[in-house]
Structure 1
Amino acid sequence: MAKDLSWHVTGDAGNALHIGAWRFDGDGSGPRVHLQAGVHADEIAGMLVLHQLLPRLQACQDQGRLKGSVTVVPQANPFGIGQFRQGKLLGRFHEATGQNFNRAFDHALAMERPASNLAQWQKRLVQLAAEADLVLDLHTDDEALPYLYIHRSFWPEQGLALAAALQVAVVIVWDEGGDGSFEETIINHASPQLAATLELRGQADVSDALAQQDADGLWAWLCINGVIDEVAVIAEWQGDVVDMGCMETILAPCAGVLVFEKGLGDCVEEGQRFARIIGRPGDPTSEVTLHAAQTGRMVTGHRERLVAQGSVVAKFTGTRLSDSYSGGVLDP
């Protein structure tokens, strides 16, 4: 049976919060794997994927076909999952402090005695993954193609098989961090053979069919890495690779009604219009047209169609360094 590694932290109101975690141990001949979802609690798709994967791993262990070990944390963030306000889950930022849940893991890890309940949770999560050889953090964007976010040291040698198994559309390769994300903290403070973030499309892309597809991809990836005693065949990867600095992030120049004229996956030429914002419906002079900064492919889009000034409207691939890139992480 899987070993129960679940634990509790104290919530903002003094209540006990539960984090479910399980480890499936094989015969020790394969690598150690850590899989988690929901660090941003409003990104649900990965939770369903891991929920579907758990019984398959249990059956594999029971049949004696598990070679490595797999730790699974399907819903990693107990703080954010309780932040429902007027029917909407506000799970990206910690309401009590305003901190992005996927930031400052490095600071929490450095504390001998974490100064807050949030830091205590972050440190425990990193410690749980620190001994793993292969670490995957499952996220989603607003609306998006499936894409892989990976450090250059892992691409393409370790990362190509993952991109192929999950059939991601885009791989974004990064060099600089500095924000203390979970992935960056694992890379800086442990010795993984691979640590990466998988963006499983958009926040609304939650279904049994998509979860089954992604769980099958993860299963195949586990097989080809020698975690499971099973032969798996994956298709050749046909996606795009782009350096993070070449990604174009388009911000809303004004508030208003967002109307996309291009869709996810569409290619645009430099200067081509792809959306418009109607600042004052009823006033045709309030329409602002948005244009592509360079030739590329639309990877993400803003999920809400009423945007605030400064919101991320869309992200595109590019082939040259973006004029707006100043180093650091992809998202503001």
Structure 2
Amino acid sequence: MPQDISFSVRNNNGDAVRVGAWRYAGDGSGPNVHLQAGVHADEIAGMLVLHLLMQRLHTAETQGRLKGNITVVPQANPLGIGQFRQGRILGRYHDATGHNFNRSFDQSAAMARPSTCVQQWQKKLVQLAAPADVMLDLHTDDEALPYLYVHRSFWPRGRELAAAMKMDVAIIWDDGGDGSFEETIIAPWIRDGVTAGRMAATLELRGQGDVSDRFAEQDAAGLYNWLCGCGVIDESVAPAEWPVEAVEMGHMETILAPQPGVLIFEKELGDFVEEGQRFARILRTPGDPSSEVVLHAEQAGRLVTRYRDRLISQGMGVAKFTGSRVSRNWSGGLLDPN
């Protein structure tokens, strides 16, 4: 049986809330792994994926086939998971402080005495993952193709992970600066020059509505097979073959809404558009044809993400596309600064 290594943090009211965590023991000959989902508590798909994966890991542990220790945190954020408002979970930001749950992990980890419940939670989560050689953080976008965020230090090795997960796109980044969990974990590796044999990535498992047995079983199998391939589980698995488009972070095009209104997409996820081609429109005032604005692609590329709701406010991200040149809107940092 896996070892229960769950821990508690305090919520806004000072009550203890539990972060469920389990460790599967290997024989010490393989890399140690940390897997987690739900840092943004409204991104649910990874929770089901890890739930299913844990059943396979239990079998491998029982049969003595684990070479590395594997820590699994299938629902990492008890602070955000309870933030329901008018029937909808708001799990990206902490209600009381406005803190984005996946920002400033580095600052929280460096504090001797974190002052807020979010900072305390972040520090404990970093401490749990810090000994790992492999860290995968499972997220989802609004509506999206499955895609991978990976630091340049782990590319092209990350292609095998993306292929195992049948991810269509891998976004390669260099500098973050916002203290995301992934960035915080790999910072000492990069500083000390010890990235060989290690891996860290953020996996975007499609969109927030893509929670199903079919997807979860496919993703759990992909993770399991990849863990076999990188020497964590003693099982022979053929490397996956899947076309993965590698895109520089600065080449991704994010189209913002020039006005509020009803959002109508004319292209589907994965569609290729030419530069200048229309892909959506926004109707500001239904009944007034002159209030409609057509949106065009900034450059040729594939539609990777779409805004989930069909009523959008001005300035929100409508869609993201792959590109072949630096976006004129690129100013550094990660893809989603907020």
TM-score, length of structure 2 as denominator length: 0.97
Q: Structure 2 matches for 1:111-150, cutoff 5 A?
A: 111-150=111-150
Deviations 1:138-165 (A, max 9, x none): 0000000000000001100x31210111
The yes-or-no answer on 1:214 pairing with 2:219 is yes
Question: Match for 1:33: what amino acid?
Answer: V
Consecutive unaligned residues in structure 2, runs of 5 or more = none
Distance 1:180 1:43 in 2: 19
Shift of 1:321: 0.3
The yes-or-no answer on 1:253 pairing with 2:258 is yes
* More displaced 10-residue stretch of structure 1: 143-152 or 13-22: 13-22
- Percent of aligned positions that are identical: 67
1:176 is matched with 175
Deviations 1:26-76 (A, max 9, x none): 111111000000000000000000000111111111111111111000000
Deviations 1:223-267 (A, max 9, x none): 001111111123323121100000000000010000000010000
* More displaced 10-residue stretch of structure 1: 188-197 or 32-41: 188-197
Distance 1:236 1:217 in 2: 12
1:229 is matched with 234
Shift of 1:16: 1.4
Distance 1:61 1:121 in 2: 29
Other structure's SS at 1:91 match: coil
Question: Match for 2:167: what amino acid?
Answer: V
Other structure's SS at 1:65 match: coil
Other structure's SS at 1:81 match: coil
Distance 2:239 2:145 in 1: 19
Distance 2:231 2:153 in 1: 21
1:162 is matched with 161
The yes-or-no answer on 1:283 pairing with 2:288 is yes
Q: Structure 2 matches for 1:185-196, cutoff 5 A?
A: 185-190=184-189, 193-196=198-201
Q: Structure 2 matches for 1:76-87, cutoff 5 A?
A: 76-87=76-87
Distance 1:316 1:20 in 2: 36
The yes-or-no answer on 1:13 pairing with 2:18 is no
Distance 1:68 1:195 in 2: 16
Other structure's SS at 2:97 match: coil
Deviations 1:191-239 (A, max 9, x none): 5611110000000000011000000000000000111111112332312
Which one of the candidate residues 263, 267, 270 is aligned to 2:272?
267
Q: CA RMSD in A?
A: 0.9
Consecutive unaligned residues in structure 1, runs of 5 or more = none
Distance 2:55 2:89 in 1: 28
| Count of aligned residue pairs for this structure pair | 331
